[in-house]
Structure 1
């Protein structure tokens, strides 16, 4: 499989088979994330693998509520990856203030996508979650107050191998050479 094939196969998976994910496959995904670039090589991320059933259910329950119920599928994901965002170092904080960019979040996004693309290679499905109760997740995992959690990744074997049709803009609508559209 070439890289573009992997990119095209990646999709948000919300229905998982009931069997566990091998730690070797999780480690490969983490290794891919570890090699993601980041501003000032700050590597502002930590990944907490939550595969203990009781703890996973506790974290999963922090991803939805009665008002926003759409993440209930996390209860069926065999693994949740909680991505901790470290505070910016001096260089990235200073540069970010000037450029009005949170460079730690840019790097985090790249690392998360590296993780998810490697998951495709491992025949695993993922769903990147940005909607969850941060305080509840931090409490469940004893994450220090000075650290932040911006992403949770649901991980497991997809219940179905169906690849949904992607609705994307045409290349002509997103690309221009040497001038703005």
Structure 2
């Protein structure tokens, strides 16, 4: 599949085939795409924790859902959770972030996450990026130091839902050339 078809096909998966596990070899390839992604001043401010042990994965999934609000009720279906922990940026990225008032680590983690999700799609897997979770509970479950920040949970598995038509703003609404319109 060419890159543009891959981008068109990738969607946030919210229903997973609970009978199909994902081989660690595939997860390793997907994570390699994230590891190789670009970052400001090559800081690479991320650590990825793969959670695929069923009982632990279900406890992490519980920390991502808010049943009363209807948030993330599908997360136990996914066989793999990739927890993204923010690591310190290097000196150059840190100084650049201060000077330019940008949190480069979050930008870099976003880029790595996009690479991971596109790699998952290329492997025939669905993914969903979660920012809603009980961070303190995830830290406790995975022995993440209190001074670290858990930024995202990327869930991965074989999709059990059809491809949806994407609803996006028109090109005219989001793209302009040489001036803001």
TM-score range, shorter chain: over 0.9
1:134 lines up with 2:135 in the alignment: yes
Cα distance between partner residues in 1 of 2:55 and 2:84: 19
Which runs of no fewer than 5 residues in structure 2 stay unpaired?
none
Shift of 1:16: 0.5
Q: Which residue of 1 aligns with 2:147?
A: 146
Give CA-to-partner distance per residue, 1:65-85, whole Å, 9 cap, x none.
Answer: 344331121111111111111
Q: Which residue of 1 aligns with 2:53?
A: 52
User: SS where residue 72 of structure 1 aligns?
Assistant: coil
Q: Which residue of 2 aligns with 1:8?
A: 8
Residue pairs, 1:110-125, within 5 angstroms: 110-125=111-126
- Relative to the length of structure 1, the TM-score reads 0.95
Q: CA RMSD in A?
A: 1.2
1:71 lines up with 2:72 in the alignment: yes
Which runs of no fewer than 5 residues in structure 1 stay unpaired?
none
Cα distance between partner residues in 1 of 2:64 and 2:107: 22
User: SS where residue 178 of structure 1 aligns?
Assistant: coil
Alignment: residue pair count: 180
Cα distance between partner residues in 2 of 1:98 and 1:69: 40
Q: Which runs of 4+ in 1 moved over 3 A?
A: 66-69
Give CA-to-partner distance per residue, 1:88-139, whole Å, 9 cap, x none.
Answer: 3322222112211100110000000000001011000000000101110011
Q: Is the 8 A contact 2:46 2:86 kept in 1?
A: yes
Give CA-to-partner distance per residue, 1:24-65, whole Å, 9 cap, x none.
Answer: 211111011111100110111111110001110111110023
Q: Is the 8 A contact 2:22 2:157 kept in 1?
A: yes
